[in-house]
Amino acid sequence: MLRPAAPLLRPLALVLVALLGLSIASPAGAMPPERVTRAGCTGVVALTFDDGPSRTTTRRLLRVLHRADVPATFFMVGQRVAADPRAAREVERAGFLTANHSWAHRDMRTQSYREVRQSLRATRRAMKRAGLHPTDLMRPPYGALAPPARRAIRDAGYVPVMWSADSLDWQSGDAQQIARRILSELRPGRNIVLQHDGVNRSPISVAAVSQVVRVAKRRGYCFTALNERGRPGFPTPTVTAVAKDGVEGGEAVVRLTLDKAPGRDTALSVEAASGTASVGADLPPFATRVEFPAGRLTAKVRIPIGTDAVVEPTEHLTLRLRHPEGLALGQETVQVGIVDAAAAVRIDLPGPPFLSLARR
């Protein structure tokens, strides 16, 4: 529906890749071979879906991906995000990564530098307004690029991503035929699969996903999303912590925030260490493992604080962030204040209104 004639497109796209020197995947092997990708894996496969979101098809696809327990990356068209922000939000909240596929799916070879920048900017704005945290990845419509578009993409801070296995789902075939096309193009090393969740034939393509996953896993392939460089892998978000002081007899609260969506479950440990406040005296020993399910970017840690009969100034304890899984630490510690119960801020309510008895 949204692609030009295939016989002309694919050779031209490959020539452009070679001429422009883009670091993107292609059937001709633009991605460097990588025989050893993960221990025990024949290779890695990143599923990608273009042209959505579509409320019915995308929602059905999310269920299929969850049942198959595989990640994916969705390249969204800005107009469709703006028209159905709820469908777009469901993708990220289900734990999947989102990326830019232009505003109106126009061939970027026909657009000026300024038009490409505006298209990318408008799409990102729509995604942000929809509540998404999009990656800095983009896919040019039809896989088509020219020098002005390439410069605009680079200057806008985006990484262009192509594919190594084309399902041709938009063109022809039933679900089994689409699955066979994909499986026939998988190779040891890194693979990026192109499918669509926003074209007329997308329901047929979605029906092929389970077979692709089942057979590929049986052949030893592992599934992943796309990392910051647009290659099969996962982004590594940075986690930061902000503490809200606690009062004796209550609790302190620490808010942990990821700077971007990870596309997978991540975790870290939070442990309390003595400062001017003592672990074991001012608060019980505290250590917890905080998990961020895919699609979640914040978490709160509540730390119980003991009380005593001694009036003392505000004390501090140190929380250590340790053992990150799939995360980078933006800081290793955060200070938490403990306010003495007797010194806690109190609110004095006003008394009854004073009525003047003076004569008028």
Which residues carry out catalysis?
50, 196
* Vertex 211: Cα angle to 206 and 212 (nearest 5): 85
Q: Is the dihedral of CA 208, 209, 210, 215 positive or negative?
A: positive
Alpha helices in the chain (DSSP H): 6-20, 55-68, 78-83, 85-93, 113-129, 147-155, 175-185, 202-218
Termini Cα distance of the chain: 84
Classify residue 336 by its DSSP letter.
E
CA distances from 110 to 6, 144, 147, 308 (A): 18, 10, 11, 73
Please report how the helices 113-129 and 147-155 are oriented relative to each other, as an axis angle in degrees rounded to 10. Answer: 40
Nearest 10 degrees: Cα torsion 87, 79, 103, 16: 70
3-state secondary structure 117-182: HHHHHHHHHHHHHCCCCCCCEECCHHHCCCHHHHHHHHHCCCEECCCCEECCCCCCCCHHHHHHHH
CB-based contact 277:246 (threshold 8 Å): no
The CB density around residue 286, as the number of other CB atoms within 10 Å, is 18
Burial string for 127-136 (b: 16+ CB within 10 Å, else e) reads beebebbbbb
